[in-house]
Structure 1
Amino acid sequence: MWQKSHLKHSDTSPSEIAAERRALKKAPSLRFRFILAGVLVIGVIASLAINLVFDSSRKLADLSYDRLLRSALLQMDENVGLIRNEISIDIPWSAFATLAQADEDRVFYKVESLEQGFITGYQDLNSTPPKSPVLDEMQFYNQEYSGEMVRFAWLERRLTEPDTAQTVRIVLGQTRLSREAMASAVTQRAIEVVVLVALVAIALIVIGSHMVLRPLHRLERALEERPHGDLTPIDINTPKETHHLKVAINHFMARLQVNLEQLENYTADAAHQLRTPLASLRALAENARDNISNDTVSKDAVSPEKQNLALENIVIQCDALSQTVTLLLNQAVVSHRLQTQRLAPTNLLEPINASCREQAVTALHQGIKLSLDCELKEARVLGDAFAIQQMMQNLIENAVRYSGLGVEHATEVVVKVMAFDAFYRIQVIDYGDGIPDAEKQRVFERFYRGRYDIAGSGVGLAMVKDIVDHHRASIVILDTQPKGTTFQVDIAKIAFSRKPV
């Protein structure tokens, strides 16, 4: 399937195709594993079946020929009697005729009395059953005699007369050639059937492997036939076994779509943020060049005040450009960390203290006193310290920027940290002009700026909202009394997973 996809995409080089072919050869085959597992299972089942058939065939052969052996032994027993207190036997021809049905086997017998001793048959036939002898109970067993394995029938009973009683023992044996031949024939036939069934089962497994893997090929085709950039969810019907795979692919594409959107937003942010200071810097440089050119044409010396003013404006724009680049880099780092780093136990006070220290000097240069009001020694939350620090820096920088604009008492920004039962509350309080109610919901929009007479990028509070949402926290904008704005963030303690209210 991957070869077809490469034929469709002309941007695939021959070296990439060759590398993918080599990787495909080294990759394990799911279909081969499925077939191999099926063959192993069938092999084990076939082996057990053959062993079972082999034992059953031997028992069946013994059962069949034991009936002949029993019949012959009973015929011999019927002709045993007492004549003048002595045991006599006239072995009937029919007894041996019964055993003659197994024409390849030899027959051995012995008749003896416990009182008189040997009566007739093979005198050296000293065979005893493995179980304890029981009168009038016939026993069958295998035992070696005359260099061959023989199947014996054993019977012992008492003969009684009015004036005497004796015990007679009859042992009748037959070699196992016919039995083994019968068992082999049955086993061979059964093996043929088992092998045939196993081959059919293996063929069905091979065919079934194509059907089982067909949903995976459908998913593969659905992905390969998509145009570039199509990350919409897969909506084809799949079996339960591949449903979770489809869901995982859809979730992965959803995350990839989010990452692409964030990359597009970041690119747009970078273009938007860099365009303005670069344009201003170019305008200032051109203005300085034009002033110098005009003064040179008029043969008037360029005044140091004009030079200093032009250079000062250029330096200011360079600083603004540097701040913009730093903000974009921080935004990229935060976005990457939010996508790749897991939240970990963090002391909330450490990034807050670091942010206050970094912004304190900047606030003093603008005549603003930055203070931290916190009586806690530790505040454990599940979060990312770097992201929280960037959040606090943006909130503090925003509060400092909009403080003290024409208001005499707006010379302070206060950062408060308080503890509640299930969450910690962070407040960044300023005493500036405040934010109108109509704009409170829009300040977190990207590129939105309430006032364009104050320097700013319009993305700081948007990044704050992303960080708050990633930490499953909440942020609200309140009015400071008597005037100003308070940004309030509630973040859950590490022991609580639910969002604080």
Structure 2
Amino acid sequence: MWQKSPNHQSLSEEEESKALKKAPSLRFRFILAGVLVIGIIASLAINLIFDYSQKLADLSYDRLLRSALLQMDENVGLIRNEVSIDIPWSAFATLAQAEEDRVFYKVESLEQGFITGYQDLNSFPPNPPVLDQIQFYDQMFSGEMVRFAWVQRYITDPETAQTVRIILGQTRLSREEMAAAVTQKAVEVVVLIALVAITLIIIGSHLVLRPLHRIERALEERVMGDLTPIDINTPKETHHLKVAINHFMARLQANLEQLENYTADAAHQLRTPLASLRALAENARDIGYSNSASPEKQHQALESIVQQCDTLSQTVTLLLNQAVVSHRLQTHRLELMDLLVPITASCREQALTALRQGVHLSLECELKESLILGDSFSIQQMMQNLIENAVRYSQQDQDAPAEVIVQVMEFDLFYRIKVIDYGEGIPESEKERVFERFYRGRYDVAGTGVGLSMVRDIVNHHSARVNILNTEPKGTTFQVDFAKHRFDGDNQ
């Protein structure tokens, strides 16, 4: 961790405060989701309670209505072939339990016509009539909603038979009052349960988020630079978060170690050429002070300084490219690219430099396109290192042809790149070590020992393969295989 200055820290706290106000609250979302769910459940429960209370009130008062209707039906008979009825007092006494309700009735015969009751009471059930079956239904009458009981049956004697219809109705005031009372009590219970549930959700949200606060405190209480894994017990739901944080800190630790190694590498690489440059400059200064020094010696001393400056510039450039490549390998995703683009660009950049050193560089490729998943910049740096290395060692053997060949070939599952030189070659015992950082097989040849190490990192990041082969009759061939990009349709 890096410690901020007080001014920057206060500014950061102000920005964090503003960001905190704008940030969505996980606890609020949890409570809101719980309230919405409870609200939906409570609404459904209230609707069910309302329907149930209506049915309960109808069931209770329909029993009274049925009892009164049956008492009236028992007192219907035939006297001298005419329908007569003596309505018992007990029938209306039963319905009188609903003191505020009004009662309507009508008795009629299909053959004889109206017998008694309300003559204008012309009510029919919604369903087709069935003899001796009582039907209950609601219908408007006299400006009020009335609950009716309706029955129709045959009355027979030895001389005649008639169809009698009895209609008995009662207003719904008592029913509605009973349904409202039941609904009110039930709603009060539902609301109470909902409030208790919401309270428990609020308390539960605090308990649920406690593991996150524990992780937060564990991170805040750490000293600067402590990137060790978090070792606290957490629920399963936050375990993956803890693992992700530990993996992130592990990657950060690796990056810091890599930065430290890179700093040490840079210091190691720059210390030697700087010391050599200082010695050459002091030598040139001493030659300049000497009266016996010839112009040739002065020129030679200055030329050595220029050469050492070029070497130092190449070293700095290589270290910077290594830093850029390392950063890209960690931060950039592999994208669909044409492998020929960085290869062709590297050959063009190195062709003139190789020609100045007496080495002919050529590219042999018959492909028009080679699609892979990769990073174009990193692959171009890999090719430049391989070509520079091949050119450097081709100059050392005057008997071999000063030529470097880059080949690109296509196979069923991969593309193969070959960088071929005809120098002295690499002994078998050193082929496994040339990819080590700072390893140099020959110190009489200019180099840093870093280029092939960077080649290995790039190859590994692309899940490719690199092999070192012998060139016939002698020399070295670096062979790199990149997997082809296969589209979804290629697998069908």
Look up the match of 2:390: 399
Q: Which of 266, 278, 281 is the aligned partner of 1:282? A: 278
**Alignment partner, residue 261 of structure 1:** 257
Amino acid in the other structure paired with 2:53: S
Residue 407 of structure 1 and its aligned partner are, at CA, apart by: 4.7
Task: Give the percent of matched residue pairs that are identical in Structure 1 and Structure 2.
Answer: 78
Instruction: Give the match for residue 348 of structure 1.
Output: 339
Checking the alignment, whether the CA contact within 8 Å between 1:404 and 1:410 is kept in structure 2 is no
2:227 aligned to which of 224, 231, 235: 231
Deviation per CA, 1:92-146, whole angstroms, max 9, x where unpaired?
1111221122222222222222233322222333322222333222121222223
The equivalent of 1:124 in structure 2 is: 120
Q: Choose the corresponding residue for 1:453, options 444, 466, 472.
A: 444
The answer to whether the aligner puts 1:414 opposite 2:405 as a matched pair is: yes
8 Å CA contact retained: 1:404, 1:431: no
Q: Which amino acid aligns with 1:47?
A: S
**CA gap 1:291/1:180 in 2 versus in 1, 3 angstroms:** same
Write the distance in 2 (CA, Å) between the matches of 1:324 and 1:388: 19
Unpaired segments ≥5 residues, structure 2: none
What is the CA–CA distance in structure 2 between the aligned matches of 1:173 and 1:204, rounded to whole Å?
50
Partner Cα distance (2:106, 2:197) in 1? 53
> Which of 423, 428, 435 is the equivalent residue of 1:444?
435
Across the two proteins, how many residue pairs are aligned to each other? 487
Shift of 1:201: 1.3
Question: Among residues 444, 468, 489, which one is paired with 1:477 in the alignment?
Answer: 468
Equivalent residues in 2 for 1:116-155 (5 A)? 116-155=112-151
Q: Secondary structure at the match of 2:404?
A: strand
Contact 1:79 1:91 in 2 (8 A): yes
SS in 2 for 1:396: helix
TM-score (norm. length: structure 2): 0.91
Partner of 1:25: 21
**In structure 2, what is the Cα distance between the partners aligned to 1:435 and 1:229?**
43
The separation in 1 between residues aligned to 2:359 and 2:118, in whole angstroms, is 128
2:64 corresponds in structure 1 to 68
Asked whether 1:430 is paired with 2:426, we answer no
Runs (4+) off by over 6 Å: 7-12
Deviation at 1:164, TM superposition (A): 1.8
**Residue correspondence of structure 1 range 26-425 to structure 2 within 5 A:** 26-293=22-289, 295=290, 300=291, 303-405=294-396, 407-409=398-400, 411-425=402-416
Report the CA distance shift for 1:73/1:314 in structure 2 as closer, same or farther (over 3 A).
same
**CA root-mean-square deviation:** 2.7
**How much has 1:323 moved relative to structure 2?**
1.4
CA distance in 2, matches of 1:135, 1:246: 76
Residues 1:166 and 1:225: Cα distance change in structure 2 (over 3 Å): same
Mapped partners of 1:429, 1:25: distance in 2? 63
Give distance in 2, aligned partners of 1:281 and 1:406: 28
- Residue 462 of structure 1: how far off its partner (Å): 0.7
Rate the CA distance shift 1:121–1:351 in 2: closer, same or farther, 3 A: closer
Q: Which runs of 5+ in 1 are unaligned?
A: none
What is the distance in 1 between the residues matched to 2:368 and 2:139?
Answer: 93
Contact preservation (8 Å) 1:284, 1:314: yes
CA gap 1:122/1:367 in 2 versus in 1, 3 angstroms: closer
Distance 2:220 2:5 in 1: 10
Once structures 1 and 2 are overlaid, which stretch shifts more, 309-318 or 373-382?
A: 373-382
- Once residues 496 and 440 of structure 1 are traced to their aligned partners in structure 2, the CA distance between those partners, rounded to angstroms, is 36
Give deviations 1:435-474, integer Å, cap 9, x for gaps.
2333222211111222222221111111111111111111
Deviations, residues 365-413 of structure 1 (Å, cap 9, x unaligned): 3333333344444433332222222112211211222234355225333
Q: Which of 105-114 and 45-54 deviates more?
A: 105-114
2:138 and 2:411 map into 1 onto residues whose CA distance is: 90
Change (3 A) 1:9 1:54: farther
The TM-score, its normalising length taken from structure 1, stands at 0.89
Q: 1:367 & 1:112 partners in 2: Cα distance? A: 129
- Look up the SS of the partner of 1:13 in the other structure: helix
Deviates more, 1:458-467 or 1:239-248: 239-248
Counterpart position of 1:488: 479
On the 8 A contact 1:422/1:496 being kept in 2, the answer is no
- Aligned counterparts of 1:422 and 1:20: Cα–Cα separation in 2: 51
Distance 1:493 1:116 in 2: 101
Distance 1:353 1:134 in 2: 97
Distance 1:496 1:173 in 2: 79
